[in-house]
Amino acid sequence: MKKYVIAAVLSVSTLLSGCGFHLRSGPSLPDNINTVAIDSARAHAPLARALDKHLNVYGLNSVDKSALSTTANSIHIYLLPEQLERQLLSVYPSGQVAEYELIYIVRYRVQFPGKEALMAQFEVVRDYQDDPDQVLAKSRELELMLDEMRDEAADIIIRRLSSQAVAAVNAP
């Protein structure tokens, strides 16, 4: 029985490694960078708060933008105003909107120590079903969905920092 289990584990691991699968670790930044400073076009931007919360989850330190000048080994992230667009997906026979596609557009500038700033943009997309009979419940659902989209955007920014850090370090 043990031989079959060992053979099954070996064959599965061989198949997974053969197709290029590998486990991802958490985002990692170069050792000389120890903090991230977050600044935004809007004071108290919800995405800035989400990003700060997620930096702590990943074990990265965040500093206030006023402390940036005193911290030489900081990454500076400047969040441009966020945008939310709606695209019509379907309507009820009565002509009322039944479903939207919500597109949350995030634009930001990141600057690594001693390097030029890099601009980045991405979108987080969700489908949202509207029900005119349940306006209060749907408005709360929309708020929750926007919070989830901001959390996903914060995770994307942090994951991208890792790859952008490698590119910035390797750039001349």
Q: What's the rounded Cα separation, in Å, for the pair 70 and 65?
A: 10
Q: What's the rounded Cα separation, in Å, for the pair 152 and 47?
A: 10
Chunked into runs of 10 residues, the chain (172 residues) has average pLDDT values of 76 69 56 78 87 83 62 82 90 83 94 87 91 75 92 92 70 59
Q: Yes or no: say if 112 and 75 are a contact pair by the CB < 8 Å rule.
A: yes
pLDDT value at position 122? 96
Q: Which CATH architecture fits 2-170?
A: 2-Layer Sandwich (3.30)
pLDDT value at position 31? 61
Q: What's the rounded Cα separation, in Å, for the pair 63 and 75?
A: 10
Query: Ramachandran region of residue 14, left (φ > 0), alpha (ψ -120 to 50) or beta?
Result: alpha
SS3 21: coil
Amino acid at 93: P
pLDDT value at position 30? 60
Please tell me the pTM assigned to this model.
Answer: 0.74
pLDDT value at position 77? 92
